[in-house]
Amino acid sequence: MDEIIHSFLNLSYWILIPALITGGLYFVLIFIFYSGWKKTPEFVSDKPEYSEVKVSIIIAFRNEKKNLHQLVEDLKTQSYSKDLLEVVFIDDNSEDGSAEILRELIKELPGYILVKNHGTGKKQALEAGIGISSGDLIVATDADCRPDKQWLASLVSYYLRKHPHMILGPVLPMKEKGFFLGIVSLEFYSLIASAAGSSGVGHPVLSNGANLAYQKRILGNINDPFMKNLPSGDDIFLLQNLKKLKSSEIYFLKSRDAIVQTRMPETFKEFRQQRVRWASKSKVYTDPDMILTGMLVLGMNLFIVFSLLSGFYNFEWFFLYLTLMVVKSIPDFVLLRSVLAFFRRKDLLKFFLPLQFAYPFYVIFTGFFGFFNHKYIWKGRHW
């Protein structure tokens, strides 16, 4: 123990002190998220009268011909009243015949509408769809997702009980085998955990457009709710803009009935493109909760990587690296274990250690390229 203390004292204070402070703040932050997750009660859907709520599902799609058939089948089997449901598909200039396939799939389905996006990108497509919708409650998902049968009924039941401005629904990875997909899925669960936990303490920092519901009327109080000048981020910028409104109520729906499943990137290149795209939005965040969380996560991982690399030149830096890894891993594990247990995916915990060692490098890489406008390809377009 004396040797470890001596090694710490030999390190540069201008690195050591900020690193330990950052580590302590990160430790507290993740346990705050854990507290928010635990205090959020599991929602069990009842069977209310739905006659007062008209729902519009808005789905913007581009080049999704391989997924549209299954999505339409999932929507047809929803337990929600068909008389109070409309589904608006917006074709974002697909080039693979998706629109023609979808038109054939829905031609005999009342309440299903297909329109073309006359602009470019998902955000303009969403605005076009919302503009012609007639529902009181807007529900958004993506064309490559699989909603559970009770998805809509659960969302509406929760809406009738809480009347929030926005509902953050659970988006979970589809169960697929392999080491890479296991790590990617576990990392995705960490995002769900952060979204749920931060919402539980009244300071949501993440949302996912694959499972999102919000009052249509509230959009009239926001100028440019999706921030159309940026290519992606309709979900996170809507969340950010809603938080600026006084008395806005935003809740995470903690329910296994409300799950929407999504596919994970199958290759490292696809994963990198997706995460760089997500990171590129962070430089225009204005929400204090998002900024503080992003700074702590990035700062913590910067100190971890710095201390590890410095350890190859001065072995004493390894003590700081190990300390920070322990400080990071304890709250991460506690939060993830609880979330995975609720969603019945504790099998993914076997990837925890590999993810912990790789995560700092991944965060720095995506954060750097995303912040400095690294180009990426999304839906066949170069941004």
Structure confidence by residue, pLDDT tens digits, 327-356: 999 999 999 999 999 999 999 999 999 999
pLDDT in the model for residue 272 = 78
pLDDT in the model for residue 351 = 96
pLDDT in the model for residue 48 = 52
pLDDT in the model for residue 328 = 97
pLDDT in the model for residue 372 = 63
CA neighbor of 56 nearest in space, from 164, 204, 217, 173? 217
Say if residue 238's pLDDT is above 80: yes
pLDDT in the model for residue 3 = 56
pLDDT in the model for residue 337 = 98
pLDDT in the model for residue 127 = 92
Say if residue 109's pLDDT is above 60: yes
Residue 308: phi and psi, rounded to 5, are: -65, -50
212-215/260-262 β-pairing: unpaired
pLDDT in the model for residue 321 = 94
Structure confidence by residue, pLDDT tens digits, 32-58: 999 999 999 999 876 655 457 999 999
Residue 40: phi and psi, rounded to 5, are: -80, 115
Say if residue 377's pLDDT is above 90: no
Higher pLDDT, 117 or 349: 349
Higher pLDDT, 179 or 314: 179
CA neighbor of 130 nearest in space, from 204, 50, 65, 226? 226
pLDDT band at 220 (very low <50, low <70, confident <90, very high): confident
CB 131 within 8 A of CB 58: no
pLDDT in the model for residue 112 = 96
pLDDT in the model for residue 370 = 64
Say if residue 10's pLDDT is above 60: no
Average pLDDT, the chain: 89
Say if residue 216's pLDDT is above 90: yes
55-61/85-91 β-pairing: parallel
CA neighbor of 170 nearest in space, from 143, 195, 138? 195
CB 52 within 8 A of CB 83: no
CA neighbor of 216 nearest in space, from 303, 337, 132? 132
Tell me how crowded residue 220 is: count the other CB atoms within 10 A of its CB: 9
137-140/55-61 β-pairing: parallel
Higher pLDDT, 15 or 192: 192
pLDDT band at 11 (very low <50, low <70, confident <90, very high): low
**Taking residues 196-208, what's their average pLDDT?**
96
pLDDT in the model for residue 314 = 79
Token pair 């949302």 is at which residue?
207
**Taking residues 7-32, what's their average pLDDT?**
83
Share of the chain above pLDDT 70, in %: 91
CA neighbor of 157 nearest in space, from 280, 2, 53? 53
Say if residue 373's pLDDT is above 80: no
pLDDT band at 1 (very low <50, low <70, confident <90, very high): low
**Taking residues 204-218, what's their average pLDDT?**
95
Lowest average pLDDT, out of 59-63, 86-90, 164-168, 246-250, goes to 246-250
pLDDT in the model for residue 301 = 95
pLDDT in the model for residue 30 = 98
Structure confidence by residue, pLDDT tens digits, 157-186: 999 999 999 999 999 999 888 999 999 999
Structure confidence by residue, pLDDT tens digits, 247-302: 889 999 999 999 999 999 888 888 877 777 777 777 788 899 999 999 999 999 99
CA atoms 185, 304, 332, 280: torsion sign: negative
Q: How far apart are CA 59 and CA 67, in angstroms?
A: 12
Contacts of residue 214, defined as CB under 8 A and 6 or more positions apart, other chains included, come to: 137, 138, 165, 166, 167, 238, 242
DSSP per-residue string spanning 32-93: HHHHHHHHSPPP-------TT--EEEEEEESS-HHHHHHHHHHHHT--S-GGGEEEEEEE--
85-91/112-116 β-pairing: parallel
